[in-house]
Structure formats: structure tokens, C-alpha cells
């Protein structure tokens, strides 16, 4: 009876409670939980809700949620300042109240989405609500409850991985698209990892270059045909993952889009709303590359080379500056860090350089490059003094040189006019000096002094300098008679001699009556001149060498009045006659003695033919034979010219009277007279009027002739062909 009464009361009250619940507007009280308690599960009864406190979140933070529901529920997200609108049963279905990106109505099954805290507000507390209620203002939209639901929920703040480009949910209306990320650059070989988690719809995900995107983005007449097909993710209605290796991008930037447009074949129809979380991360390529502006296959010894890792792919900044390290001495230990390094090598050889890189996600890679080093530079040589050098005979020429080489100097050679004069094959100092005493062994004029420096590779450098040797001293004139006395009208021989070992020839210039209107000049070391004016006069001879240096000889000539009487002329003629007669007499005696000797030889031969040897001639006979006895009747013919000479003429000529010829013995008279009769006639003397002398030059062997003036039988003159000094005589 008692149980029947209770049951009757329950039946009567149930319709009243249902009507009250459906018509009453009050405060919603939800079960509470927080982010730290997740994951967790609940049995959410009909017409109840679950509010999860997500805590105070700052802009840019990301959260993930994983949910499983066995019946339809609504998933709502509110900031702390608008969650009360929901709980007070006010109109909350607007973007100013809830966060529509993270709202999923009538959801059942399993799903995952990521949500980013908006950047338009300060740090705010947020709430996630799992709703299993029917609200008067729903107008039938969303889940309306009606049954219990088993809920499993997990969530938390995402710690983004390295090289995460995007990680958020995208809500796309039918016929629209949403840009996941881009435009952005990646290196060829980088893996672009696309992770999709669908909460609603069946969208497509495309990767395309920026130029392809320009054909895809218009609202009409768009085309997706230029997308990168190898990166397609079509009909994404569940969790999908695609690692795509970037290639064939032609260096263009990329764009990743969620496509909810119709097609292409095999893709989504684009007729319903789509909600998909897309996470884009990169695994950048690590490909260390060594480069240099220099040719690393041909590096000079000592050359400073910049090794650079700037060509290493790093579009995603996967390698920080500190992530580059260099091992330049092949010892396995990094020697220097940085994108580039300066290196040089002191000797030829092959050297290995290793570049290692470490990315920000702790991956590493390395590469090795062989550097070929050889000596390609010649030595550097500097001479001092440089240019043209002038030195005089008797001076010292000194040249110095400094030299350097990138590897080392092996030898130096000094040359003068192409011949080696000094060498050094043991180099200890980077300098060398050449000294030459300028002597008569060298010719005047231009010479070339050179230094050749050879390095250890056999590469040589030659430096030349022009050296001019010149005569700096005037000719030296031999002693001469500085004052002479001559008679007016007499031909006078004037001559000086000079010496200059540094000149091939000397130029003699005689100047008479210098400074007057009658000034006259002659050339040659010897001149013949007749002075007409009485009194003292000065004659200057200038001797000039090849260098233009001159010496002067000045001779004071005192000209006296000549004796114009006929007696003087007669005396000169008589003196010449006596001179000629003396020559004839000497020749006659020479021939006479020869005749006597021949006759004596014949007599000796006749005596030797006798059987008995003849006794030797007595002393008296020998005396008679050689004319040492008293005078005989035989007398040699006397010269008529000689008999006419008086003592005064002989005194003028400075000659003595000729001795009388001895008279031979009577016994030899006939024989001697016979011999004398057979003597040849004296040769006629040369015509005194013929003063022309023909001469063959002793230097150039060419013939020339010269006419000597009266009274001059011998003289010095210059060859007209070569200019050398020659002696001529009648």
C-alpha cells in the first residue's frame, strides 16, 4: 500500500517537472575541471555540461585538444568575460561571445584540433565547455542532449617543435580556401611535413609556388592545375601526414592552402563546411658547402684565401652562425667557428679542410674539401738605385737589391752585359749588393746590370738597370815646349801629344790669332804654319775626347825678322850642296872598300893555287895595301863642288873638312885602278822638287799620299781614312 502511494505521487510530478525544466530560464551549473587534470573522462548526463578551466593564456600560445564522444555534443570555447553569458542562458551564439574557431556543434566520434590564443587581447583566462543541453535560444541548432554521453578529453599547451611554420585549425566555407602558411622559402631538399586533423568536412591541402598561387587565388576563373602535385593531400576526412621533399621550385617561395573548392579529381567536393587543423613543420636540409672566390684547385703558396660556408643551404635559418666550424689542419679538431675563415698555407701540397654544421634542432653534417697549393708567384725584386745610372771611369758603381718570395729564394745571379759576375746559392739575407770598379776594361757608353732571383720552384724574376760609363777626365797632354822662337816666313812645325785611355779618338784643334778677325783653325796633332807678323803671338791647341772634355796647350811663339840678304840664300844652297856631296863621298868610299876586298879575295885564291904556300905579307906590304904608307902617285878624283867650299860655309853647316884619301902602293896601283874602273855608277838622287810621299796606313792598310813643304823631310800626319797618326818621310 505504501509503495503504491509513492509511485502514484512520482507519476503525477514527472510531467510537471518536465514542463518546468523546458520553460524555466535560469543559471546553468556545469561540472568543473581544469587543464592540469587532463586527460580525463566523464559520463555526461543528459541536460548537463562540463566546464574545463584552461587557465590564463597569453596571446600566441597554442593548445591541443583530443576528444571522444559516443553521442552528439557541442564543444564551446569562451573567454572568462563572456562565459557568464552562456551560463546565464543568454544568447551566446555570436563571435563576440564565443570563439568560433574552436566551436564544434553536434560533434560525435573522435577528433583533434589545435587552437591559438588570439593576438588581440591581453592575457586572459579561458574555458572549454562540453555542452549536452538544449537551450531555448538554440533554435534547434547544435546538439540538444536527450541522452547521456561518455566523454574522453585530453588537452594541453603545445611546445612547438623547431621549424614549425603553422599549427592551427582552419574553418573554411564551401567554395572557399584558407592560407595555412606562406609565402615562405625553403632550400631544395628540405622536407616539408604536413600533418592534418579533420574535425569537419573533407577538404584538400595544396602546396604551390607563389606564381601558381596567383592563378589560384582569384574568386573566379581560378585554376589549381599549377599546384605541386607531388605534395597533394586530397579528401582529408581524418588524420593525415605527408612529408614532402621540396624540389623543382625554381627558387620561388611557396604557399600552403586548405582548399574547400570543388575538385580536382579525387578531391573533396567543397559543398560543406570544413574544419581542419594543419601543422606545417620543416626538416631543413643540412648540406654544408665550402666555397671561395679563389680557385681552390690552384692556390698560391702564402696566398690568403677566404673559405666560406655562405653557399650552404640555410633558407630556414636552420644553422646559426655558431653552428659553422672549420678544421683546417686535418687533426679532427675544429680550429675556428663562423660562416667564413681566412687561411693560407706556407708550402706547396694538398690540404684538406673540413666544414661541419650543427642545426638548431641538434642535427649535424660535415663535408671535406681538398685545397691544392702550389708556388705560382715569382720573387719580388727591388733594385736601388733604379732607372738610369751614370758613372765615370775611376769611380765605383754599387747596386743593391732586396727580394722576397712567398715560399723561399733559392739563388741570385748578378749579370753585367749578360755575363754572370756574382752568384749566391746559399741565401741567408733578403738583400744582395754588386760593386764594380769602373776601369779602362769597360768601354764608355751604355751597359746593362741585371739581377736574377730564382725561388725554390724554379720561378725567376729579372730586374735590369741601365748603367752609362762616361769619361769624366780630360785628355792628358804630354810635356811640350811652351815657348818657341821662329823667323817670319819660315814654315814652323807645331805639335802636341795627348793620351786618354777612355776615348777611342782625340780631336786636336789649333787656333791661330785667336780673338782677331784673322783667327784661323787647323786640325790634327801636328800643323805646319808660317808666321808673317813679327812679335809674340799665342797658339792654342785644344784636345777634346769622346766625352766632350777638353785640355788646352798654349804655346807662345816669338816671331823674329828674317835675314832677306842673298848671302843667306847662298849659304842655304851651299849647305844643301855640301850635304849632297858628303853623301856621294860616303857612297864612293863604301863601293871602293868593297872593290878592294873583292880584289884581295881574288889574290888570295891565286896564291892558294901555288904548290908552296906563299909567305905571309910583311908589315910593309900590309901597310902599303891599306894605304898606311907615304902618299903614292894615285889620287882619287876630287869633287869640284867640295873644292869650292870655304871654311866659313863649313862652319855654318857645322861640318869639318873631309880627310884626304890614302894613296895605295905602286904594286897595287894597276889592280886597284882596274877595280875602280869597274865600279858601278852612283845611282842618281831623287829629284829634289818631288815632295810627294806615298804611304800605306799601318792601321787600316789603306794608301794615301801627302806633299811635304820645302825644307821638311819627315813629319807626323793623320790618316785621311781612319784618322790614326802616321809617320811620313822622303
Q: Model confidence over 676-708: pLDDT tens digits?
A: 444 444 444 445 446 788 888 888 888 878 887
Residue 674 counted as domain residue: no
Residue 45 sits in the same domain as residue 144:
yes
Q: Model confidence over 40-51: pLDDT tens digits?
A: 999 999 999 999
Q: Model confidence over 315-330: pLDDT tens digits?
A: 999 999 999 999 998 8
What does the pLDDT average to over 125-133? 94
**Residues spanned by the domain of 441:** 380-470
Written as nine digits, the cell of 558 is 816669338
Q: How many domains does the chain have?
A: 6
pLDDT band at 651 (very low <50, low <70, confident <90, very high): low
Residue 393 counted as domain residue: yes
For residues 367 and 285, give the distance between their C-alpha atoms in angstroms, rounded to a whole number: 14
Residue 392 sits in the same domain as residue 457:
yes
Bigger pLDDT: 304 vs 265? 304
- 8 A C-beta contact, residue 426 and residue 393: no
Residue 173 sits in the same domain as residue 231:
yes
| Residue 634 confidence (pLDDT) | 41
Residue 146 sits in the same domain as residue 79:
yes
72 SS3 class: strand
Q: Is the confidence at residue 510, as pLDDT, over 60?
A: yes
What does the pLDDT average to over 243-265? 92
Which of 470, 502, 527 is where one domain is finished?
470
5 SS3 class: helix
For residues 257 and 607, give the distance between their C-alpha atoms in angstroms, rounded to a whole number: 162
Residue 133 sits in the same domain as residue 210:
no
Residue 596 counted as domain residue: no
Written as nine digits, the cell of 697 is 796606313
Residue 602 counted as domain residue: no
Q: Per mean pLDDT, which range of 476-480, 497-501, 590-594 is the poorest?
A: 590-594
Q: Is the confidence at residue 343, as pLDDT, over 90?
A: yes
| φ, ψ (nearest 5 deg) of residue 503 | -120, 145
pLDDT band at 24 (very low <50, low <70, confident <90, very high): very low
Q: Model confidence over 656-683: pLDDT tens digits?
A: 444 444 444 444 444 444 444 444 444 4
What does the pLDDT average to over 189-216? 95
Residue 417 counted as domain residue: yes
Residue 169 sits in the same domain as residue 279:
yes
Residue 350 sits in the same domain as residue 247:
no
Residue 121 sits in the same domain as residue 190:
no
Q: Return the CATH number at 182.
A: 2.60.120.680
Written as nine digits, the cell of 82 is 563572456
Q: Is the confidence at residue 157, as pLDDT, over 80?
A: yes
Which residues make Cβ contacts (< 8 Å) with residue 605, sequence separation at least 6? none
Q: Model confidence over 455-469: pLDDT tens digits?
A: 999 999 999 999 998
What does the pLDDT average to over 118-127? 91
What does the pLDDT average to over 242-268? 92
What does the pLDDT average to over 204-215? 95
What does the pLDDT average to over 114-134? 92
For residues 190 and 495, give the distance between their C-alpha atoms in angstroms, rounded to a whole number: 107
- 8 A C-beta contact, residue 695 and residue 662: no
For residues 406 and 346, give the distance between their C-alpha atoms in angstroms, rounded to a whole number: 8
| φ, ψ (nearest 5 deg) of residue 248 | 55, 40
Which of 283, 308, 329 is where one domain is finished?
283
Per-position DSSP letters for 427-453, written without gaps between them: --SSEEEEEEE--TTS-SEEEEEEEEE
pLDDT band at 272 (very low <50, low <70, confident <90, very high): very high
Residue 34 sits in the same domain as residue 151:
yes
Which of 560, 578, 606 is where one domain is finished?
560
Q: Is the confidence at residue 613, as pLDDT, over 80?
A: no
Reduce the secondary structure of 564-602 to three states and give it as a string.
CCHHHHHHHHHHHHHHHHHHHHHHHHHHHHHHHHHHHHH
Q: Return the CATH number at 466.
A: 2.60.40.10
| Residue 686 confidence (pLDDT) | 46
Residue 83 sits in the same domain as residue 122:
yes
Residue 704 counted as domain residue: yes
Residue 432 counted as domain residue: yes
What does the pLDDT average to over 287-291? 95
- 8 A C-beta contact, residue 257 and residue 280: no
What does the pLDDT average to over 86-113? 91
Residue 543 counted as domain residue: yes
For residues 354 and 566, give the distance between their C-alpha atoms in angstroms, rounded to a whole number: 122
Residue 397 sits in the same domain as residue 437:
yes
Residue 32 sits in the same domain as residue 152:
yes
Give the number of C-alpha atoms closer than 13 A to the C-alpha of residue 141, restricted to the C-beta side: 10
Q: Is the confidence at residue 2, as pLDDT, over 50?
A: no
Q: Is the confidence at residue 205, as pLDDT, over 80?
A: yes
Amino acid at each position: 500500500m505504501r509503495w503504491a502511494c509513492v509511485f502514484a505521487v512520482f507519476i503525477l510530478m514527472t510531467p510537471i517537472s518536465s514542463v518546468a525544466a523546458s520553460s524555466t530560464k535560469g543559471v546553468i551549473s556545469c561540472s568543473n575541471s581544469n587543464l592540469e587534470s587532463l586527460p580525463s573522462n566523464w559520463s555526461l548526463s543528459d541536460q548537463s555540461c562540463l566546464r574545463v578551466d584552461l587557465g590564463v593564456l597569453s596571446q600566441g600560445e597554442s593548445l591541443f585538444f583530443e576528444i571522444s564522444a559516443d553521442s552528439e555534443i557541442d564543444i564551446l570555447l569562451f573567454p572568462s568575460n563572456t562565459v557568464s553569458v552562456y551560463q546565464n542562458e543568454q544568447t551566446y551564439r555570436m563571435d563576440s561571445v564565443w570563439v568560433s574557431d574552436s566551436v564544434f556543434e553536434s560533434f560525435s566520434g573522435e577528433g583533434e584540433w589545435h587552437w591559438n590564443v588570439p593576438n588581440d587581447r591581453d592575457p586572459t583566462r579561458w574555458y572549454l565547455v562540453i555542452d549536452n543541453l538544449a537551450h531555448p535560444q538554440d533554435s534547434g541548432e547544435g546538439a540538444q542532449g536527450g541522452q547521456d554521453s561518455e566523454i574522453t578529453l585530453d588537452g594541453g599547451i603545445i611546445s612547438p617543435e623547431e621549424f614549425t611554420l603553422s599549427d592551427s585549425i582552419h574553418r573554411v566555407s564551401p567554395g572557399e580556401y584558407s592560407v595555412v602558411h606562406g609565402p615562405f622559402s625553403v632550400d631544395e631538399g628540405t622536407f616539408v611535413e604536413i600533418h592534418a586533423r579533420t574535425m569537419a568536412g573533407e577538404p584538400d591541402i595544396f602546396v604551390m609556388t607563389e606564381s601558381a598561387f596567383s592563378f589560384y587565388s582569384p574568386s573566379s576563373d581560378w585554376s589549381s592545375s599549377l599546384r605541386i602535385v607531388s605534395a597533394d593531400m586530397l579528401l582529408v576526412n581524418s588524420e593525415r601526414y605527408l612529408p614532402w621533399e621540396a624540389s623543382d621550385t625554381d627558387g620561388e617561395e611557396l604557399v600552403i592552402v586548405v582548399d574547400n573548392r570543388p575538385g580536382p579529381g579525387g578531391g573533396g567536393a567543397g559543398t560543406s563546411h570544413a574544419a581542419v587543423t594543419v601543422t606545417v613543420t620543416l626538416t631543413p636540409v643540412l648540406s654544408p658547402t665550402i666555397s671561395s672566390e679563389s680557385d681552390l684547385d690552384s692556390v698560391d703558396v702564402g696566398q690568403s684565401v677566404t673559405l666560406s660556408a655562405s653557399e650552404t643551404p640555410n633558407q630556414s635559418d636552420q644553422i646559426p652562425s655558431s653552428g659553422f666550424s672549420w678544421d683546417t689542419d686535418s687533426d679532427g679538431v675544429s680550429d675556428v667557428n663562423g660562416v667564413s675563415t681566412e687561411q693560407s698555407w706556407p708550402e706547396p701540397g694538398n690540404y684538406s679542410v673540413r666544414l661541419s654544421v650543427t642545426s638548431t634542432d641538434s642535427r649535424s653534417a660535415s663535408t671535406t674539401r681538398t685545397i691544392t697549393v702550389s708556388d705560382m708567384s715569382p720573387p719580388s725584386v727591388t733594385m736601388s738605385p733604379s732607372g738610369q745610372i751614370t758613372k765615370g771611369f775611376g769611380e765605383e758603381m754599387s747596386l743593391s737589391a732586396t727580394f722576397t718570395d712567398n715560399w723561399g729564394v733559392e739563388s741570385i745571379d748578378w749579370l753585367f752585359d749578360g755575363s754572370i759576375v756574382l752568384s749566391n746559392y746559399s741565401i741567408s739575407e733578403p738583400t744582395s749588393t754588386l760593386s764594380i770598379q769602373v776601369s779602362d776594361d769597360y768601354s764608355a757608353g751604355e751597359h746593362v746590370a741585371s739581377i736574377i732571383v730564382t725561388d725554390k720552384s724554379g720561378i725567376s724574376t729579372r730586374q735590369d738597370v741601365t748603367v752609362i760609363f762616361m769619361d769624366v777626365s780630360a785628355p792628358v797632354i804630354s810635356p811640350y815646349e811652351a815657348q818657341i822662337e821662329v823667323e817670319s816666313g819660315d814654315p814652323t812645325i807645331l805639335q802636341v801629344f795627348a793620351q786618354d785611355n777612355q776615348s777611342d779618338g782625340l780631336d786636336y784643334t789649333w787656333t791661330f790669332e785667336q780673338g782677331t778677325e784673322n783667327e784661323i783653325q787647323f786640325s790634327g796633332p801636328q800643323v805646319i804654319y808660317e808666321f808673317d807678323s813679327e812679335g809674340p803671338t799665342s797658339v792654342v791647341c785644344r784636345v777634346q775626347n769622346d766625352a766632350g772634355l777638353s785640355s788646352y796647350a798654349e804655346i807662345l811663339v816669338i816671331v823674329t825678322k828674317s835675314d832677306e840678304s842673298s848671302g843667306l840664300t847662298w849659304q842655304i844652297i851651299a849647305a844643301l850642296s855640301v850635304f849632297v856631296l858628303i853623301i856621294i863621298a860616303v857612297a864612293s868610299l863604301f863601293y871602293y872598300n868593297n872593290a878592294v876586298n873583292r880584289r884581295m879575295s881574288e889574290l888570295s885564291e891565286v896564291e892558294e893555287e901555288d904548290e908552296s904556300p906563299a909567305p905571309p905579307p910583311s908589315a910593309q906590304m900590309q901597310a902599303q895595301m891599306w894605304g898606311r904608307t907615304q902618299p903614292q902617285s894615285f889620287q882619287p878624283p876630287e869633287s869640284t863642288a867640295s873644292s869650292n867650299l870655304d871654311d866659313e860655309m863649313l862652319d855654318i853647316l857645322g861640318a869639318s873638312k873631309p880627310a884626304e884619301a890614302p894613296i895605295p902602293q905602286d904594286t897595287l896601283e894597276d889592280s886597284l885602278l882596274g877595280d875602280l874602273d869597274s865600279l858601278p855608277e852612283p845611282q842618281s838622287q831623287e829629284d829634289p822638287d818631288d815632295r810627294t810621299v806615298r804611304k800605306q796606313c799601318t792601321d787600316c792598310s789603306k794608301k794615301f799620299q801627302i806633299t811635304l813643304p820645302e825644307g821638311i823631310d819627315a813629319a807626323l800626319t793623320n790618316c785621311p781614312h781612319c784618322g790614326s797618326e802616321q809617320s811620313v818621310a822622303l
